[in-house]
Copies of this chain bind each other. A is one copy, B any other.
Amino acid sequence: MIEIGEAQHRVLEDIPLLGRERIHILDALGRVLAQDVKAVRDVPYRDNSAMDGYACRHRDLAGAESVRPVTLKLVGESRAGSPFEGFVGLGEAVSIMTGAVIPRGADAVIKVEDTVPDGSAAVKCLTAPRPGQYIRAQGEDVRAGETVLETGTPIRPSEIGMLATLGHGYVHVYQRPIVAILSTGDELTDLDQPFSDGKVICSNGYSLAAQVMEAGAVPLSLGIASDSEEDQRSRLLDGLRADVILTSGGVSVGKYDFVKSTLSEVGMKVKFWKVAMKPGKPLVFGTIGTKPVFGLPGNPTSAMISFEQFVRPALLKMMGRRALFRRVIEAVLAKDVVSEAGRLHLVRCRLIEENGHVWAVSTGTQSSGALRSMVLADGLMILPPSRRVYAKGTRVKVQILHSNSPLAHASPFWSRDTARDESMLSQTA
């Protein structure tokens, strides 16, 4: 039996990075860049206007104000996509739209709100612009030749926008692992089979497939194997084309727990068996060639929590991610919690934000079979191995579960009227 940290280390040191593939940028959301992306040209490509208004020479307007406006002669128009090709001379201006190129001669923009028309060929300017005012300089955002996005960057909407800006419709990303999932156990039945006494619907096949998808990988279901080496072997052979193999059940000490030996028969080299944690102790990890194999426990919550600790980080690493682990926060116990695991105890809990604290409350029965407690859980309290009572008010570490933050808000931060309220800012150092 080994510690969880050691087990994670042994899993991750054996995990290969998958190869690259080239995909359209709109298919790349959530993937990880497998190339550096350089800019071939400056962004903006030319000095351009940040406002609708008039491109002018700032010196011409020195001293202009609303009671003493200065009139400029309009000599043309620079539209987004149709630049003014001429020159802006002394006392002249060019009508300009947001995003349009600044014409030669001009060195500032005065916005339309700071002007009044003076006939059709002139404009009265009511303020004096600073030099460079409302001009977005060429290369201000990105310089030609610069590496803008690096290998290993997770691709979010802003990266997709940047890739488009830089002219990339396609991009290299790391491939997604195919994850074969085999459930084992004579008691298991599937959703399309009639239910009978003594049977249990195989939920692990579904919850594990969902966890695989949530991590961004691709599930491949091998169905349910009975507690027979023959059935398990034949299904596992179907799974050998996958990049990762997951089984659930059959890895404990019972006399029908064949999975470990069946996996060895199909070529698995065992790296460890059993981890000092609750739930999830009976976990087998090994490799078939470079292919990681996880023999997860059969209890629904043990399987899910073991997936979180070992399989998810491994899948993320294969896909090129660097942040492999869920966030751990500090929370305050809202009630006493008894830990009698005698090993690292991961207690399913809800999180409640109130009075400036995040409070943690156990979700009730912590039986490894109890899926209900997973449904209710926002996170896992991390309790050390000692058997003891943790009193209400104790601060504990909590590992957040799920990608959708359980601490998202039902109401906006800003109330309907208080956006001007300075109290939104607290003033300490």
Contacts and interface: CB of A to CB of B under 8 A. Distances in A.
A413 B397 contact: yes
Nearest to A396: B425
Interface stretch (A63-71, A118-126, A210-218): A210-218
A276 B420 CA distance: 10
A396 B313 CA distance: 32
Interface residues of A, number: 147
Contact of A29 (B5, B213, B328): B213
A31 B112 CA distance: 46
B29 A210 contact: yes
A419 B165 contact: no
A198 interface: yes
B410 A424 contact: no
Nearest to A52: B254
A386 interface: yes
A384 interface: yes
Contacts of A167: 191, 195, 201
A199 B192 CA distance: 57
A45 to B, nearest CB: 7
A323 interface: yes
Interface stretch (A180-188, A235-243, A260-268, A284-292): A180-188
B367 A162 contact: no
B370 A200 contact: no
Nearest to A428: B395
A16 interface: no
A5 B148 contact: no
B424 A384 contact: yes
A199 B81 contact: yes
Contacts of A148: 372, 375
Given A29-B213, A148-B372, A372-B162, A200 B424 contact: no
Given A81-B188, A82-B186, A371-B162, A156 B214 contact: yes
Contacts of A283: none
B425 A395 contact: yes
B112 A254 contact: yes
A367 B140 contact: yes
A365 interface: yes
B81 A210 contact: no
A90 to B, nearest CB: 25
A25 to B, nearest CB: 6
A186 B328 contact: no
Interface in A246-279: 252-257, 276
Contacts of A402: 156
A159 B211 CA distance: 11
A164 B162 CA distance: 41
A324 B185 CA distance: 41
Contacts of A328: 409, 413
A375 B5 contact: no
Contacts of A416: 3, 5-6, 9
A28 to B, nearest CB: 9
| Most central of A83, A257, A369, A395 by chain B CB within 10 Å | A369
The 7 closest A-B pairs by CB, nearest first: A161-B207, A80-B187, A81-B186, A52-B254, A81-B187, A157-B210, A393-B429
12 contacts: A4-B419, A26-B213, A29-B213, A50-B369, A80-B227, A141-B367, A141-B369, A142-B372, A158-B374, A168-B191, A323-B410, A384-B419
